[in-house]
Structure 1
């Protein structure tokens, strides 16, 4: 089922990209605009399908965590390289602060990457000006040391009455002008589920007009 859903969409995205690169021949401005709309819509649908498939696996207990020793600083350095072009395109600052020594967790690399990508994507998408800053630090929680990865933005912020809905499936908070951005309403819900499978959790600290901070907490080795 997974293969049957993903393959046609990947073909649409791929062939649209070929047309946009003008490999088969030239396209005019209006054709370019419509092709980009098709490509964006296909990617949006593929993202929704991927999230739904992941949630189905979690609900059925069929998600296998491949636990390994992961250096959080090294992984975040990779994330910064991945997201800097997106931040630059939106004229936003993107900074990263971490202790000099390696900070390692026993975790699943794919799940951890997926959580971090969701948090960074949201921070950049819902910030119109200013910066997104990422911090790696250690904290004591319930008698155990945790690695805490915080993603702070300078966006519009989230009202207290809306924060309870953040981690619910298919829920999107209407944040004024940011509501123009499409989303599945599954990213934070899926991220929280993955964090729980990794024995961690995600919290949100936000105030309207001052931005938001989402923090992923994972137990240290």
Structure 2
């Protein structure tokens, strides 16, 4: 399984250093950045897929809870703070967990363990992916996947033979499958590049299926598939 990509946002250097030390001790975590100013972190979040953010609540430029509202629900957040009175607000924003400073390593492990449990990602091989669907496991070659659709907390793999429903997020899956073969074209769709046969307006054709393209992805789709 690929590592969980983490970001640390805290205006206190000692707090950032402690979290960096903890992250380095966990082999499935990968720190991709740290920020003192939450506003500066927004560009990084926009440019790089982030799985998990350790986010301080009380910061001078922008409160962590306000930043969480901007980020949205796709990226999981573990709030960190020295003030217990912010806990209710944090959980109302669907935070994964709430760590009270000073943070112990055991409590840190408990929090990241929640992410790992809730976001089980299939293991991948060079030419195939193993998909967990309920109690069943399917080994599917990438070449047999036409497209993937997000449906609430699940994704459906549309293959040449069947549809397979799996409990996972499309964003986590996007980080696992090879970008050389697959392309995100919509908040709810990833397509196999080789299966696309035409571009009709703002839709891609894959066999009889019409896949919508979001405005934010349209230029990238045209560049990668039709140039």
**Same-fold status (TM-score > 0.5):** no
TM-score by length of 1: 0.22
TM-score by length of 2: 0.22
Name which structure has the greater RCO, CA cutoff 8 Å, separation 6+: 1
